Structure 1
Amino acid sequence: MTVSPLATALLACPLMLCAAAQAAAPQVRTQAPGYYRMMLGDFEITALSDGTHAFPIDTVMTNIEPAQIARDLADAALQAPVQGSINAFLINTGSKLILVDAGAGSLYGDCCGKLIGHLRAAGYRPEQVDEVLLTHLHKDHAGGIAAQGTAVFPNAVVRLSQAEADYWLTPANKASAPAFLSSFFDSAVAAAAPYQARWQPYAAFGRIEPGIDALPAPGHTPGHAMYLVQSRSQQLLIWGDIVHVAALQLPHPAATVKYDTGEADAQATRRQLLQMAAGKQMLIGAAHIAFPGLGHIRPQNGAYAWLPLNYDGTP
C-alpha cells in the first residue's frame, strides 16, 4: 500500500504541529468574571458568582445513605467533595437595582467573596444597589453585605422576613441551638449591625416591590424566603437554599442537610417546589446549583433533573 506524502506528514506531526515552538505563554489559571446577564420581560437579571467552595457531603448530607450518594455522584460524573456554587442575582427593574443575596464575603476564606468584583465587572457599583433582599441569614447569603463592620452596600435597604431576623438576632436562640450553628448567629449580628435604620424586615409575605413578591419557603431556616420576579408575563423564582447538591437532592428530594432547622418542613417544601417548577416549567434562580444557577426543573424517572438555561450571547 502506498502512503501519500500528506499522510506521512500527519503521522509524523500530529495536528500539523511540526513548526518550531513559540515562547510558551504563561497559564492564567483564573476563571472569567463570574456574571451572566439575561432579560426577564423588561427586567435585566444578572447572575453573580461569589465563588465556589468544597461542599463536605460526607458530614453535611442527611437522610441519604452513603452508598446512594456514591451512586448519584458517579452518575453525575462528580466526586466528593463537590464544588458548591454560591450564586446571587441582581435585578435591574429600570427604576431600582435590587440584589437577592450577597454571598459569603470573607467568611468562607479565599474561595469566595468574589461577588463585588463580579458586580463591578458586570458594569455596576455597590453604592448603586438600592435594596438587598435576603432569602435567609446564613453566612453564604448574608455575610457579603458587611465587611469589617461597614456596609458593603452603603445606600441599600436590607430586607428579609421578620421571622428570619428574629430567630438569628435573638441571643436566647443561639444558646439553645446546636453548637455548630453558633458562628451563624454571630455572623448574622455582624451583617445587620452596619445597616441600623436601613434594616427593614417585612412582617408579612407578599408584594414588596413592583414585580417582586416574597414567598415563604420554610424548613432550611425558620424564616427562609424566596422571591418571585415577574415582568411582562415572564417569571423567575429565586429560591435560595431549596437545593444544595443537585446531583443528590433532585433524584432524592428527601435528602437534607444538617443545617436545616426543620427537616420535615425542608423536605415538604422541596417536594412542593420541584413539582410546581416542573409542572409550570418555571425559570429558577438557584443559590447553589452550578453557576449561573439559572435553569428549569424537569421530571426524570419519577424524580427530577436540572436543565440549565441555554446560553444566550445576545440578551
Structure 2
Amino acid sequence: MTQGISTTEALEILKTNDPVQLLEILRRATEAREKHSGNKIKTCSIVNAKCGNCQQNCAFCAQSARSKAKIHTYPLIPAEEMYNAAKAAAEHGSHRFGIVTSGTKVVQGHDLDEICKAIRMIRKDLPIIPCASLGIMTEDTMLQLKEAGLDRYHHNLEASPSYFPEICTTRPYSSQLETVRTAKKVGFTVCSGGIIGIGESLEQRVELLETIRSLEVDSVPLNFLSPIPGTLLEGGCGITPWDCLRAIAAARLMMPETSIRICGGREQNLRDMQSLIFAAGADSFMTGGYLVTPGRGVQADLQMIRDAGLELVR
C-alpha cells in the first residue's frame, strides 16, 4: 500500500502560493493519479429522488429546515422515474448512478421498498452501477439495500470534527462516522467526503481529509461551496480556483490509492480552470446536475475529458 503524505505536508500544500511550487504539486498529483488509475476517468450521475423538508439545519443546504431558499420540494419519486434517470445517465457514459434523498434517514417502509425496487430494475437492465445516499441508516436497512443489489453507499462527513458544530447542530458528528462504518460492515464500497469553502480554516480542511483517510473509504467526493440564496451561507466564503485545486491535490497525495471524485460547485468555483482537476489528481467527477443546482451539460464534460487526452471508463 502506497503511503500518503502527512497532515503537515498537506497543510503546506494548502498554504502554497508560489507558482513554481504549485506546478510541482500538480506534477506530483498527476503522477499519483496515473499510478492509481492510468489515463482512465470515471463519471457518476445522481437523481434527487426526494427534495426538501429536511429537519437538519445544515448551513450550506437549500433543503435544510433553516433554509429560506426557493426550491421545488417533493416526496419520493416512483421507482420508474429513478430508473429512467439511471438510463439517461448510462446513455451519457456514467459509470455510477446515485439515488439521493433529503432528510435525516430513510426507514423501512414505502420509501425504502421503492428505492430497493429501483435498484433491482437498474441492476437487471442497465450497464451502470447503483449507489445511494439516504442519510443515517441502521444495519438492518442497509442490509435490505444490499440484498436489492446496491453496490455503494454514499455519506458525506461534510466538515471536520472540530468545524462540524459550526454548520450543523441537529445531529452529532459521531452519527456521520457510524453510518460510514456500518456501510463498510455490511459490505458496501463507500463514498464519503465533504465540502470545501464553508468557512473552515486550512487546518480544519486538512483535519477533514485526515478523518476521511482514517475511515479507509473507496471514494472521496470533494464539493466546493456553491452559495444558494436563502441559505445561511448565501454570502459565500471566498474560495478561488487554486484553493480548489490545492484541496484536490492534498486529497490525492494523502490518499494515493483512493478515488478522488469532484462533485458539487465545480463549475462555479473552478470556472475556466475545471480541466485542471485531472492534473490536481482527480480520477472521477460528477456530471449532469446536482441536488438543487444544474451542471454545465454532459457533452461539455465529456469534451473536457477528451481534450485532456484521457479516456472515459463506462
Q: TM-score range by the shorter chain?
A: 0.3 to 0.5
Going by fraction, where is strand more abundant, 1 or 2? 1
- Relative contact order, CA 8 A, sep 6+: which one is greater? 2
Give 1 or 2 for the bigger CA radius of gyration.
1
